[in-house]
Chain A
Amino acid sequence: MKVPLSWLGEYVAVDHPEKVAEQFSAGGFAATVESRHTLPQSVVVGKVLKIEPHPNADRLRIALVDIGKGRRWKIVCGAANLAVRQYVPVALPGATLPSGAVIKTAEIRGVASRGMICSEAELGIKKASEGIMVLDEAPLATPVARLLGLDEIMLDLEIPPNRPDMLSIIGCARDYAALTDKRFLQPKWKTFVRKPSRSMSVFIQAKDGCTLYSAQKIENINAAPTPQWMQRRLRASGIRPIHAIVDVTNYVMLETGQPLHAFDAEVFPNGRIIVRHARPGEKLLALDGTTYSLPETAVVIASSEKPVAIAGIMGGEETGVKNSTTAVVLEAAVFDPVLTRKTAKALKLQTESSYRFERTVNPVMTQMALDRASALIAEITGGTVLDGGASVGKTGATKRTIRLSLDRARTMLSLSITSSSAAKILKRAGHVIRVNAKTLVVTPPHWRVDIEREEDVLEELARLYGYARLQRTYFTAPARPGHAPMNYQAERMLVDVLVGFGAYETKLHPWYGERLAQDSGLAVSDHVKLANPLSADTGLMRLHLHLNLLRSASLAARANSMVFLLETGRVFRSSKEPAEEDRASFVVVGADAYRRAKGFFQAAVEALGIPQRNLRMETVFHPLGTGEKVLGKEGIGHLIRLSEEELSRWKFRREVAFVELSLPALVAEMKPATFVPFSQYPPVLRDLSFWISPETLFADIVQAFKDVTTVTAYDVFDVFEKDGKRGIALHLTFQAPDRTLSAKEVDAKLQGLTDTLKKRFHATIR
């Protein structure tokens, strides 16, 4: 809500702007001071006295302009709409316009010109404009900024949705008075009686959409300009003045919070105003020039012939006031918040009016607003407010009483306050209080729809007392250590270990597009799909972490020879109930990527307390390459090396491997560590090198060795390919728990292994 400080000041005494902003902020409405002053004081009001043709240019003319204080200057001007007796904005030499242009005395085609007559675009009021701006009569030499309200000091207040009363100057002034314990100056506006009359009648057929409809007819209207003071305030509030009557309705809406609408009275030839639901297929050309197909939730205002306005949202183009209008029907109504909201959403049309109806308007205010607007229109246009009006529905507010226990208030706010001082504080905001022993019986004022229960009154008391003045206390609770779920603990350990190994941890977007899914061999139907994604590239919730990680790794690999990216996070699978799982994934790029990734995996799971012996590795083919599947009690994850095709699809130039693991599956394998006695006897080390077919899997060799003898540890220290064969070199460790192995024993074991290699795998020993 933009509030011109001067307007607020009409209803309550205000402090200096920063202080007012601070006071509103402390009262629950975050406020900032906005100064929109971009026009210098040296752009002033001038009057065109005389116009002469330019001797050297057809399109230019020379205006003699009176800019007050006895100054009559010649200014060269090219605008076609320039005319004698016009009041115009004149930028004096030295003035800097909002565009940055500096005005100078200049010779234009041989004629001296002092200053410039400006257009609205040049003043920064409009983006584009034709011709010079013509002002209403105003004292000469008045700075235009002041005249147009461009120098208004504005407060920008954040109004929460539960405080519709604050969407008005009066509401803001009232709450400001309550917060600062000042006097709210009640406006004294002329009132009119809306007696039922024959000439006008209201029929509310859509009872769910409208609880109150009041109409007021004003006749004998003469076209008249909107007074400058009103234009100033409208402009300052961000509303463009259009037409005196429309301007009045907007002005009164800002002032009272009640949206108003003015119809040309000819719209209702027989005086019948009907509030009804939109009929199927009904359309309306609205004031914004768009033809809207009305949804079934829409409520319309209709004459006996056709709809003339979308209730609470926007009027019809054909039925609004024009310059030729001589009589208007002014509407002030209460439309249903939910239906208004649904219709506005369906039409994608949110207006100042719908915004207020959605948040509920105050029926009491409708009558005040109607009176205020009628009086202003009569005053500006010389019109006559007819005695006859029409009003259907309840204009009173429902009264509620809420009981606040003084003990509760004292405890909750740690405040030793008496019932009378609590009552006094609440009364400032218009609450009517009856003290009944240790209970305050509170009747909130009609404009405070947000106060419904004891807690609301409690907040109101704290708010008016001042949150800042409350003391800080502590609750007592058993000294019990905080608990964290296993997934959280496992994730933390895993990230610690992998970052220790050199991983760069990322947090990526949890979605991607259908194309990436399909290209990666994933079924779109397995994905949780967003109904309203940001874009087509973000429509699917990730089924795995590694896709986006590979994408990031590919970018990172352009600048780094070694890449090791890690992410932990959630993945989603579409099923009857969408399933979620916490995962960890990492991508390794560079030489020996797969073996390094596998090493990180093996070391990491060991660190988590997962014994390798409890895991089973199975070689697998994966849409993105080949690798191994990790199995424990259930599937744990994958280690995959990207195939050649995938490398080129992801634009990698080096070996790439990724690992993706389920955190809950890892957690299920975690075991507490215990001491396992180690051998006190020295190990015997032997090397074993051999040639073997590249098709033979190392896992099969190890399995075969197990059948023959016990090897304490294998260390593969060389693997290479030559002439279609694979050379493997191993450091073998032999150790017994209870004695030193003799050389003879070890030789026998080694012989067993070489025999197995030769017989089972046709290997040659090097």
Chain B
Amino acid sequence: MSFLESVATTRSEAETAIRTAATRAELEALETRFLGRKGTLTRLVRQLSRVSPVDRKAFGKSANEAKHAIRNALALQRAALKMRASSSSFDPTLPGILPVRGRYHPLTLTIRKLADVFQRMGYDIVDGPEIEREDFNFDLLNVPKDHPARDMHDTFYIEGKQGMLLRTHTSPVQLRAMLDGRKSPVRLIVPGRVYRNEATDATHEAALFHCEGLVIDKGVRFTDMLGTLDDVMKALFGEGVATRVRPSYFPFVEPGGELCMKWKGEWLEMMGCGMVHPKVLTNMKLDPTVYSGFAFGMGLDRLTMLLYGLHDIRLLYGGDPRFLEAIRS
């Protein structure tokens, strides 16, 4: 082993021993062992004379460096031991103390998501009564009494109030908003609660959430509806989703359709839509030869279930904190 190599070995040996020393006494001993009068490094330095004159300069330099490094290591380890002694109870690996964190209901998040998308597109958010007049809920929307189309909506009626019911859809707000004197062009959505007199099970609820949409202006086309709703679904579910609209029947629209979205390889019915029926436009006190528009309605429970992968609608209304905690990334 050359002298230079011996210095390097001694240095790394010393540094390792110092880093693992656990007491001050140990450090004292190490100091003596390496830097003391009879210490390893000291003895090496004394052999300087035996080093060839050519290498002497390099040897001197490395021996000096080694001495500084060992001193430095000793000082650091002394400080570390001191620190450890003064804060022996500190364990940075203990878990953090969590703040109290509340949870939003997933329906709230769906409604907000939807409302934000539409508000960015210039749609107003509009509200209407949940206890509704029968004519607003049905007749004025072109669903006459004793028409089989009423079978599509199982209805709760209000006792002692002839002609009053719990709205079965948010569509009556279309009429209310227009009769309120809204000026064209109109773009609005109505998120809110609706009611269906149906026994509850995993896919049916009697009190649920819908969102209605309405666009009215001069010259609004059927194909404008196709474009708009495709955009909305993409904003909600990502650019990757595909939509298609198929013919369907809702008495208050003509032509009518059902918008389906391709989700995880399957086409799912997402919302009913169509051009506002001329009779309904007339009931809105609009001239159907001048104005046109489209309307759409979707179930927010279903949308929420899809967004979060829920299989039982009843969980949404159970008031169970565990349910909210179970919604996570």
Contacts and interface: CB of A to CB of B under 8 A. Distances in A.
A503 interface: yes
A152 B228 CA distance: 42
Contacts of A27: 247
Interface in B34-70: none
A613 interface: no
A25 B246 contact: yes
B126 to A, nearest CB: 7
B120 A482 contact: yes
A555 B319 contact: yes
Given A475-B224, A509-B317, A530-B156, A499 B104 contact: yes
Contacts of B127: 485, 487-488
B254 interface: yes
B319 A549 contact: yes
B108 interface: yes
Contact of A412 (B104, B206, B222, B324): B222
A580 B104 contact: no
B219 A475 contact: yes
Contact of A580 (B122, B130, B227, B251): B130
Interface string A465-503: 001101111110111111111011000100100111111
B227 A472 contact: yes
Contacts of B124: 482-484
Contacts of A563: 321
B232 interface: no
A498 B102 contact: yes
B257 A467 contact: yes
Contacts of A140: none
B278 A453 contact: yes
Nearest to B157: A531
B224 A474 contact: yes
A488 B125 contact: yes
Interface in B254-298: 254-258, 269, 275, 277-278, 292
A448 to B, nearest CB: 13
A472 B158 CA distance: 43
Interface string A542-575: 0000001101100110011001111001101000
A370 interface: no
B122 to A, nearest CB: 5
Contacts of A532: 156-157, 197
Contact of A578 (B152, B161, B207, B254): B161
B153 to A, nearest CB: 12
Interface in B306-321: 316-321
A471 B244 CA distance: 11
B158 A529 contact: yes
Contacts of B120: 482
A687 B268 CA distance: 66
A453 B319 CA distance: 49
A506 interface: yes
B107 interface: yes
B215 A475 contact: yes
Given A414-B223, A475-B219, A477-B187, A28 B102 contact: no
Interface in A340-374: 341-342, 358-359
A477 B218 CA distance: 10
A533 interface: yes
B151 interface: yes
A676 interface: no
B321 A531 contact: no
A593 interface: no
Contacts of B254: 453, 455-456, 458-459
A462 B247 contact: yes
Contacts of A556: 319-321
Contacts of A455: 254-255, 275, 277-278
A163 B149 CA distance: 11
A506 B319 contact: yes
Contacts of B328: none
B217 A467 contact: no
Interface residues of B, number: 83
Interface stretch (B11-19, B22-30, B111-119): B111-119
B240 interface: no
Interface residues of A, number: 87
A474 B105 contact: no
Contacts of A480: 122
Contacts of B180: none
A505 B104 contact: yes
Nearest to B145: A338
B232 to A, nearest CB: 12
A511 B207 contact: yes
A83 interface: no
Contacts of A509: 206-207, 317
A163 B249 CA distance: 9
Contact of B244 (A163, A412, A467): A467
A529 B165 CA distance: 10
Most chain A CB within 10 A, of B131, B217, B220, B277, is at: B131
A482 B125 contact: yes
A548 B317 CA distance: 11
A274 B244 CA distance: 52
Nearest to A410: B221
A508 B224 contact: no
A442 to B, nearest CB: 15
B217 A578 contact: no
A287 B191 CA distance: 48
B140 interface: no
B235 interface: no
B207 A485 contact: no
A162 interface: yes
B302 interface: no
A530 B157 contact: yes
Contacts of B129: 580
B226 interface: yes
A473 B9 CA distance: 79
Given A478-B122, A560-B321, 14 more contacts: A28-B246, A162-B149, A162-B251, A412-B292, A455-B254, A467-B247, A484-B115, A484-B119, A484-B125, A500-B102, A531-B156, A552-B318, A552-B319, A559-B322
24 contacts: A26-B247, A27-B247, A28-B249, A161-B152, A161-B249, A162-B249, A163-B249, A413-B222, A453-B278, A459-B247, A472-B230, A473-B227, A479-B122, A482-B122, A506-B105, A531-B157, A531-B158, A534-B197, A552-B318, A555-B320, A556-B319, A565-B321, A572-B131, A580-B130
Interface of B: 100-105, 107-108, 112, 115, 118-127, 129-131, 146-149, 151-152, 156-161, 164, 166, 185, 187, 193, 197, 199-200, 206-207, 209, 215, 217, 219-224, 226-228, 230, 244-249, 251, 254-258, 269, 275, 277-278, 292, 316-322, 324
